[in-house]
Amino acid sequence: MGSERRLDLKEKLTSYVHEVRQWGLAQVAIIDGSFVSGKPRPSDIDVALLVVGPAALGAEIPPAAESLLSQRYTFKRFAIDLKVCVNGTQLDKWIEEWTEARDCPAKGMVRVVIS
């Protein structure tokens, strides 16, 4: 499972989490998809991000921080397919959808505590 693609994605995920942490944007991220499976060459990283603070309230945040919550930007820069959740209920619903939407053997998800 240590393909070059997976290592590249791991570095991108690490950079993304670091930047999100620096801005204080999120409490937790759930990582799912082919990145956490046995697939030799995952295409991207599925991330559900539980945002906190001003970002969760819809308040204005600096453009650099806002870009980290943009699906288009995060996919282009970090190969992350992002789902932003502003409360635990949304996050739980998203996790449930990911679990039910897949026609594959059981697999896990990874919870990354950010703050």
Where are the domains positioned within the chain? 4-113
Average pLDDT on 58-87 reads 94
User: Which one is predicted more confidently, 98 or 54?
Assistant: 54
Average pLDDT on 60-80 reads 96
Whether the per-residue pLDDT at 103 is higher than 80: the answer is no
pLDDT, tens digit (0-9, with 9 covering 90-100), for 21-62: 999 999 999 998 888 887 888 899 999 999 988 888 888 899
Q: Pick the closest to residue 16 from 40, 55, 57, 47 (CA basis).
A: 47
Across the strands, what pairs with 30?
A: 48, 111
CATH of 4-113 among 3.30.460, 1.10.3470, 3.40.50, 3.10.50: 3.30.460
Whether the per-residue pLDDT at 66 is higher than 80: the answer is yes
Enter the pTM of the model. Answer: 0.86
Across the strands, what pairs with 29?
A: 49, 112
H/E segment holding residue 11:
helix 4-23
